């Protein structure tokens, strides 16, 4: 055979390379390194799984992702990555999976949070959180494109934070836990349009199918309580996963628990790339330990078949125990039957805090003491608030705090895990906030100096949760005690609002009323001393004081080495009038701060601290200012409210057919200062606006919503440039 000439060899190699480049994607994408068929459980092939968190393979081959531990997570991923793209890029491959799962709640009908079939760039997910995050993400990376996480969630808790449709749904999640599409769990029966509901927490075995067709860019999800795959998908979503998938990804499952727990089991699993996954025969799979029953039923069954002598001994033991409990325990009062969430045994909390010893004391106040603790059963770190029976708070505030915060869910709220009552001891159990309260980082000799970025993030977090409390929950919650000591910091220095002992719950639009003025001096809105009625606006006043002290590093009222006490808001206003506003910024920052953001917070702090509640903006507008969605105007009214409000509109153009207000300084001690400042105009301020409404619309077109500006702004310019290009 002759040797090929260089030219013929070049042609041959070119054709070979062209063949590989133009070959169909499916032919170049390999199947997983193993069959990925776990049709008889996972015992024989457990070595092919990477488990972390609470996940483990039981002796009968069932994969258990979580047990009854609270706020826990579990991951189980196929150890070897699966190739979804060829080395030259291009579209992602089609894939198909079928798996059988069972969710057994800790208490009948009460469990959480759910499980998810997951495709991820990592099999560890080290920064993932439990509870509503399903062990997939955390609060800081929701929506990040860099996550490269795809999941189909089977969620058993309705989380308002993620706009969940109900507490029994299927959702498709791409880089976020705000589902791209979701539907109540169920299936189409017999090719009809009738949907048969499936209760995910029934404890029964449910089979799920997830199929992605890369040619049609369509994702279909089906579930059933049988071995037969439904013809029609319960959830379909058009999406091209190519931009979210990397060349290789890990496939597996994630689950988590929260304030309540569920056992999440996987009994069998099949997975295929560029093919249809094999459906599972449910009758041949190992049974989950809790499928169709709970441990209490198992105990009863065991006792029923025991020897009679064991029954007698057991009954005698129960009788002795009941008599002991009657002698030593308090009677259950009516309110205890209606209070949630979890009630802890006193003995468990005593052990967790090592007998409430002084070494575990985190802090104390007028209502009691707060101890550090670790729950022995789950190794969960907690903070236990022990309310003194001689404190003024008493039983009513104790019940209030449980009922209010127990039903709230927000990433910037300190999570209430449970409660306990033993005789006169009242205890609340919260998630542990490792960095303590914000005031320890602002005043006197701080633990460390918070950077400007950390301070601004904390303010935005507190604003976000106040908006949720005031407007976005089922009922409006007025906190009534917003201050630095009640803002707690987690591991990442995220600010979380706590201490709801003084909070009030109202229907939206209701007229709040109370006969007792409560709160902390320096944070109390002035109208409370007259009306005694807390409102969203009085919370805004307290939030204004918080903003000023975070920027300035000073308390609202200080008595230092000076003849008179320092009123923080007056001091900030004086510097504003004199044109030296940046002089009030905490000197411990060493000048390292964003001047635009600092001026914004100081402006907002001043307007929120206004004596007149109708001048203060709502939390919805404050959040939009902080996010850079709205421009805050240059003019700032003096916080002492020393000006008149006159209705001068007579139907002229520019009034939009509604009232227009002119605020002018008259006989004010600050009028001379105002005249000399850049905010004055011959002693008068002409602001086209009226009182702020409690829940303003986003249009910003009415004259009553123009005081604080409503033009959309360029976010990239930190709120300095309006979108219309004007100064």
Query: 3: Cβ–Cβ under 8 A, 6 or more apart, which residues?
Result: none
163 phi, psi to nearest 5 deg: 55, 40
d(C-alpha 693, C-alpha 96), whole Å: 53
- CB neighbours (10 Å) of residue 169? 22
d(C-alpha 274, C-alpha 86), whole Å: 13
Closest CA to 232 of 194, 279, 281: 194
Residue 411 three-state SS: coil
212, 569, 643, 672 from 668: Cα distances, Å = 71, 17, 7, 8
Where residue 175 falls (left for φ over 0; alpha for ψ -120 to 50; beta otherwise) is left
Do the beta carbons of residue 350 and residue 356 sit within 8 Å? yes
Residue 360 three-state SS: helix
Query: What is the C-alpha radius of gyration for the chain, rounded to an integer number of angstroms?
Result: 31
CA 442 to chain centre: 25
d(C-alpha 427, C-alpha 400), whole Å: 13
| Residue 237, beta-bridge partner list | 219
Do the beta carbons of residue 560 and residue 422 sit within 8 Å? no
In this structure, the dihedral spanned by the alpha carbons of residues 83, 88, 94 and 97, taken in order and rounded to 10 degrees, is 10
d(C-alpha 412, C-alpha 487), whole Å: 9
Asked whether residue 457 is marked as a ligand-binding residue, the answer is no
d(C-alpha 547, C-alpha 616), whole Å: 14
How deeply is 116 buried, as exposed, middle or buried, from its count of CB atoms within 10 A (0-12, 13-18, 19+)? buried
**Catalytic residue (choose from 159, 481, 499, 586):** 481
DSSP 8-state secondary structure symbol assigned to residue 458: H
Do the beta carbons of residue 70 and residue 380 sit within 8 Å? yes
Q: Count Cα atoms within 13 angstroms, Cβ side, for 411.
A: 20
| Strand bridging mode 248-256 / 235-238 | unpaired
d(C-alpha 61, C-alpha 286), whole Å: 7
Whether 481 is catalytic is yes
For residue 399, the surrounding DSSP H or E stretch is: helix 394-405
d(C-alpha 167, C-alpha 490), whole Å: 27
**Token reading at 680:** 């004055």
Longest dimension (CA), the chain: 112
**Token reading at 352:** 């967790």
Binding residues, as ranges, are 385
Q: Which residues are catalytic?
A: 481
């Amino acid at each position: 055979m002759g040797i090929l000439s260089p030219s013929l060899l070049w042609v041959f190699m070119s054709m070979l390379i062209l063949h590989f480049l133009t070959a169909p994607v499916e032919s170049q994408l390999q199947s997983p390194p193993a069959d990925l068929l776990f049709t008889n459980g996972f015992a024989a092939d457990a070595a092919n799984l990477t488990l972390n968190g609470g996940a483990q393979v039981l002796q009968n081959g069932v994969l258990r992702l979580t047990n009854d531990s609270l706020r826990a997570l579990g991951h189980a991923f196929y150890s070897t990555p699966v190739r979804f793209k060829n080395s030259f890029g291009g579209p992602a491959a089609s894939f198909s999976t079928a798996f059988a799962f069972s969710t057994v709640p800790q208490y009948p009908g009460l469990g959480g949070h759910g499980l998810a079939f997951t495709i991820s760039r990592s099999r560890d997910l080290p920064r993932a959180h439990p509870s509503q995050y399903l062990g997939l993400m955390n609060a800081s990376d929701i929506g990040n494109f860099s996550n490269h996480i795809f999941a189909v969630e089977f969620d058993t808790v309705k989380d308002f934070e993620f706009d969940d449709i109900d507490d029994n749904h299927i959702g498709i999640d791409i880089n976020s836990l705000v589902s791209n599409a979701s539907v109540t769990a169920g299936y189409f029966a017999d090719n009809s349009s009738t949907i048969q509901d499936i209760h995910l927490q029934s404890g029964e075995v449910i089979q799920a199918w997830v199929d992605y067709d890369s040619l049609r860019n369509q994702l279909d999800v089906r579930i059933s309580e049988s071995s037969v795959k439904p013809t029609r998908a319960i959830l379909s979503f058009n999406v091209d996963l190519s931009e979210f998938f990397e060349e290789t990804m890990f496939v597996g499952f994630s689950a988590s628990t929260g304030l309540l727990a569920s056992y999440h089991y996987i009994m069998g699993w099949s997975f295929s790339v560029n093919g249809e996954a094999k459906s599972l025969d449910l009758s041949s799979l190992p049974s989950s330990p809790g499928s169709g029953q709970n441990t209490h039923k198992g105990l009863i069954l065991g006792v029923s078949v025991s020897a009679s002598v064991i029954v007698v001994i057991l009954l005698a033991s129960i009788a002795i125990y009941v008599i002991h409990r009657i002698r030593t325990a308090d009677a259950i009062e009516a309110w205890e039957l209606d209070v949630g969430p979890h009630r802890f045994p006193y003995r468990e909390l005593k052990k967790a805090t090592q007998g409430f010893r002084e070494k575990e004391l985190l802090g104390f106040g007028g209502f009691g003491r707060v101890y550090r603790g670790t729950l022995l059963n789950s190794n969960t770190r907690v903070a236990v608030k022990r309310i003194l029976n001689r404190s003024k708070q008493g039983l009513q505030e104790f019940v209030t705090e449980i009922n209010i915060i127990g039903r709230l869910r927000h990433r910037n709220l300190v999570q209430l895990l449970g409660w306990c009552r033993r005789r006169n001891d009242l205890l609340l159990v919260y998630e542990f906030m490792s960095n303590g309260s914000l005031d320890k980082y602002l005043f006197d000799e701080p633990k460390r100096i918070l950077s400007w970025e950390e301070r601004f993030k904390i303010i935005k977090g507190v604003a976000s949760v106040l908006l949720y409390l005031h407007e976005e929950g089922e009922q409006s919650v007025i906190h009534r005690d917003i201050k630095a000591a009640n803002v707690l910091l987690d591991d990442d220095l995220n600010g979380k609002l706590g201490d709801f002992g003084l909070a009030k719950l109202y229907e939206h639009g209701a007229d709040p009323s109370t006969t007792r003025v409560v709160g902390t001096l320096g944070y109390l809105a002035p109208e409370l001393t007259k009306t005694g009625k807390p409102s969203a606006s009085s919370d805004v006043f307290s939030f204004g004081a918080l903003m000023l002290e975070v920027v300035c590093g000073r308390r609202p009222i200080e008595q230092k080495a000076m003849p008179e006490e320092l009123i923080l808001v007056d001091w900030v206003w004086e510097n504003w009038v004199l044109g030296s506003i940046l002089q009030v910024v905490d000197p411990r920052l060493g000048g390292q701060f964003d001047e635009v953001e600092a001026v914004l917070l100081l402006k907002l702090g001043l307007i929120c601290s206004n004596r007149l509640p109708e001048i203060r903006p709502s939390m919805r507008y404050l959040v939009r200012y902080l996010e850079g969605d709205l421009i805050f105007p240059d003019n700032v009214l003096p916080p002492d409210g020393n000006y008149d409000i006159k209705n001068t509109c007579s139907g002229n153009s520019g009034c939009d057919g509604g009232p227009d207000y002119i605020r002018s300084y008259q006989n004010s001690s600050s009028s001379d200062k105002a005249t000399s400042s850049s905010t004055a105009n011959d002693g008068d301020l002409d602001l086209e606006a009226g009182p702020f409404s409690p829940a303003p619309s986003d249009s910003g077109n009415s004259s009553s919503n123009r005081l604080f500006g409503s033009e959309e702004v360029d976010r990239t310019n930190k709120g300095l440039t309006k979108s219309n290009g004007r100064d």
